[in-house]
Amino acid sequence: MNITNPNGDRKAVVIFSGGQDSTTCLLKAIADYGVENVEAVTFQYGQRHAIELEKAKWIAQDLGIKQTLIDTSVIKTITANAMMDNIEITKDEAGMPNTFVDGRNALFLLYTAIYAKGQGIRDIITGVCETDFSGYPDCRDVFIKSMNVTLNLAMDYQFNIHTPLMYLTKAQTWRLADELGALNYVREHTHTCYLGVEGGCGSCPSCILRENGLQQYLASKQ
């Protein structure tokens, strides 16, 4: 087996936002498949801030990865949330934050699968996680497995959805980035802040989760 391409001739497409998790997945895919066999799909879904799209474009170019941008912003006409609208981040009575975008991951996986089939790609990689997350139902393993079956049936094609971060804490995700030799790369070049602040606001749920995980990992190395 070719060491630089341990998966042989297989190709993969990564759902890529320019954030910590998807960038770690992209770097792992490059290690697993070889850079020439990896592509990225990024979604413009009407998010409030352009910075994550800018980060995603820069990282894809820097890593030499083909990136396809798909516009799904029509979703803004049928739903409202703090990721797309300029409103305060809150939680409902059940504890669900209003940063949850109904149907987003289902939509992302569907469009990525349509693209992947057209390119002859079977492996789809997404950075969803049900360990350290905000309670989003579309980040759960049961949803991903169900969606995998649905896509295979819908298109009569054998997709394989991979979720390398599904059961990792944020600290373990930082560890994975470090094992890939990219801890500082992920720290410096990715964006996860809900408020769109360059370098992070330090106070939104996403920034807090990211920083707490980083500090936990760094403490474990001492």
Positions at the binding site: 16-26, 193, 201, 204, 207
Task: List the binding residues for ATP.
Answer: 16-26
In 3D space, the residue among 72, 80, 152, 151 whose CA is nearest the CA of residue 110 turns out to be 151
Q: Report the amino acid identity of residue 156.
A: D
Other beta carbons within 10 angstroms of residue 209's beta carbon come to 17
d(CA 193, CA 143): 25
User: Read out DSSP for 137-205?
Assistant: GGGSHHHHHHHHHHHHHHHT---EEE-TTTT--HHHHHHHHHHTT-HHHHHHH----TT--TT--SSSH
- Diameter of the chain by CA atoms? 53
Task: List the binding residues for Zn(2+).
Answer: 193, 201, 204, 207
Cβ contact 200:210 at 8 Å: yes
